[in-house]
Amino acid sequence: MSAATRDPAPARIALVLLAAALAVAVFLLPLAAVLAEALRRGWEPAWSAISDPDSLAAIRLTLLVASISVPVNTVGGVAAAWAIAKCDFAGKRLLTTLIELPFSVSPVISGLVYVLLFGAQGYLGPWLRAQGIEIIFALPGLVLATVFVTFPFVARTLIPLMQEQGREEEEAAATLGAGGWQIFRRVTLPNVKWALLAGVLLCNARAMGEFGAVSVVSGHIRGQTNTMPLHVEILYNEYMFVGAFAVAALLALLGVVTLAAKTLLEMLTSRRIGEHV
Amino acid sequence: MSASAAIAPRSARRRQALPGLGLTLGVTFAWLGAIVIVPLAALALKPWELGVAGVVAALAEPRVLAAFRMSFGGALAAALASVPVGLLFAWVITRYRFPGRRVLDALIDLPFALPTAVAGLALTALFASNGWLGAPIEALTGWKVAYTPAGVIVALFFVALPFMVRTVEPVLRDLPLDTEEAAATLGATRLQTIRRVVLPALAPAMLTGFGLGFARAVGEYGSVIFIAGNMPMISEIAPLLIVVKLEQFSYAAAAAIGLAMLVLSFAILLLLNLWQRRLRRGLG
């Protein structure tokens, strides 16, 4: 940077200090507040709130929902990325727009659409009830809503990278007689593995932390359809603040670990992952 | 675009060089159709069970109108506030080298990674009358933040901010320094250069970041409902009203509110997009 494009030192220092102060207020204080509220009466009450049977049930349910939703969106996202980046067909832009659509839909609407389909007064509700199938206020509803809100994560981390990488390596492999699956596993996958991992991590963090969408379809049945974020809300509304903040701290830890892993993967690949996701 | 495509002679109809289009497109459409298209179609159909007059009546309820004002007005205010703060963060992490820059860079994504309910709880604790930030603000200005519309805007600002930073930052990084040098050579002061050269070049990205942050904030739920106080007509947001209608089993009214939210925010995004196109044309 030449002298002409360098800001004067006092301006530089002032701007950096201002940014640092804002970062502390906007990002660090909220994290510290969660921790402080959780540990307000020491470790013991915080720990017993987390190891309470209802909390454990919520943790188990959250893990279960994520373990179904994340693989679904990983398979869908990889398939979409292959079709869009490695093949030719009309309507690619439209398809990409549709895949990113769930990001611009309110989480509450993401839950609402499934209630409209499968709820008691939904289009398929009466028929499902006659068959004895429960979707809303049960696990399938939680999974569907979670899949909806985390839908684009894997696809949108892979598509730009796979487009940039082009098709030469895959085409060379095809010329040498490799089949589609072989090409994907031996050529494409090694090229995108870190980005894929980052996409999966971001998808998982959102799946475990989702609140609005699952809140609409859950019915809040304690020990049965309460995920961790919903459990936080219930504890908070019952004035069990230490418990609410203790479970929230656990979720915050998930967010911070995801962020650290993403930063690490970005350093590893020296490229930004999941820009404005 | 691959380089070889430009060099290789284009046959009239290029044969698919790589296999798997049928399979991957099939999986994609099954996944997209079942999860996104069919459910959103239900949202588009359901409100009309009320008839056109019924939909209008459902949306014209004073409580619904107030909630729309809160959600859209609050999102607008939050996205506006994200412009200067987002620019500052983007500027500092792309232009300066200082200890802790990487940490700051990583922290900016925190609102993306932090579950919304956690953000909501944290901001409520911070901005309550006895909170670390709420107490000094109230002592100095007499304003309450938590449980007022100001609290809603604080939460929406938190979720909108990273969008602004992350859209402006790559453009700022790729901005050629020689235009700034030229401006300086021609006698512009540093401030003039930033105002007349750098900011206009960033304007389209700022609009994109504004739009993304706005779209996210309009629909935001988890980080808002704890700090909002949710008083009807005052600090109630539109997504909460959908939840209320669902609890009353008014599916069609809930769908009407949801559909109106989507249509309105897409219309605003379209306008922003058109404005951005004009800006880009102006830049040449």
> What is the band of B6 on the pLDDT scale with cuts at 50, 70, 90?
very low
Pick from A86, A111, A95: nearest CA to A210: A111
Of B85, B111, B239, the CB nearest to A212: B239
Tell me the chain A residues in contact with residue B121 when contact means C-beta distances shorter than 8 Å: 34, 37, 232, 236, 244-245, 248
Pick from B194, B255, B256, B237: nearest CA to B78: B237
Instruction: Tell me the domain boundaries of chain A.
Output: 31-275
Q: Is residue B20 part of a domain?
A: no
So what's the ipTM on this one? 0.92
Q: Are B218 and B257 in contact (CB under 8 A)?
A: no
What pLDDT was estimated at residue B69? 97
| A145-169 average pLDDT score | 94
| For residue A152, pLDDT beyond 50 | yes
Token look-up 């909501």 returns: B120
Inter-chain contact B123–A82, Cβ cutoff 8 Å? no
Give residue-wise pLDDT tens across range A204-236. 999 999 999 999 999 888 778 999 999 999 999
Distances (CA, A) of A213 to A59, A112, A206, A229, A258: 17, 8, 11, 11, 21
What pLDDT was estimated at residue B16? 66
Q: How distant is the Cα of A105 from the closest Cα of chain B, in angstroms?
A: 7
Packing angle, helices A53-86 and A189-209, rounded to 10? 140
Give residue-wise pLDDT tens across range B182-231. 888 898 888 888 888 899 999 999 999 999 999 999 999 999 999 999 99
Domain containing residue B184: 40-283
Q: What percent of chain B has pLDDT over 70?
A: 94
Inter-chain contact A232–B265, Cβ cutoff 8 Å? no
| For residue B166, pLDDT beyond 60 | yes
Q: Is residue B30 part of a domain?
A: no
For residue B4, count other CB atoms closer than 10 A to its CB: 11
Supply the CATH number for residue B197's domain. Answer: 1.10.3720.10
| For residue B17, pLDDT beyond 90 | no
Give residue-wise pLDDT tens across range B110-119. 999 999 999 9
Q: Is residue B26 part of a domain?
A: no
Q: Is residue B8 part of a domain?
A: no
**Residue A5 touches partner B, C-beta closer than 8 Å:** yes
Q: State the total domains in chain B.
A: 1
Q: What is the largest CA-CA distance in chain B?
A: 75
Q: Are A120 and A129 in contact (CB under 8 A)?
A: yes
**Residues in chain A, overall count:** 277
> What is the band of B66 on the pLDDT scale with cuts at 50, 70, 90?
very high
Inter-chain contact A122–B261, Cβ cutoff 8 Å? no
| For residue B234, pLDDT beyond 70 | yes
Q: Are A208 and A70 in contact (CB under 8 A)?
A: no
Q: Is residue B176 part of a domain?
A: yes
| For residue A274, pLDDT beyond 80 | no
Q: How distant is the Cα of B235 from the closest Cα of chain A, in angstroms?
A: 17
**A positions 165-204 inside 8 Å of B (CB):** 166-168, 170-171, 174, 179-180, 183-184, 202
| CATH number assigned to the domain covering A31-275 | 1.10.3720.10
Q: Is residue B99 part of a domain?
A: yes
Regarding pTM above 0.95, the answer is: no
What pLDDT was estimated at residue B2? 41
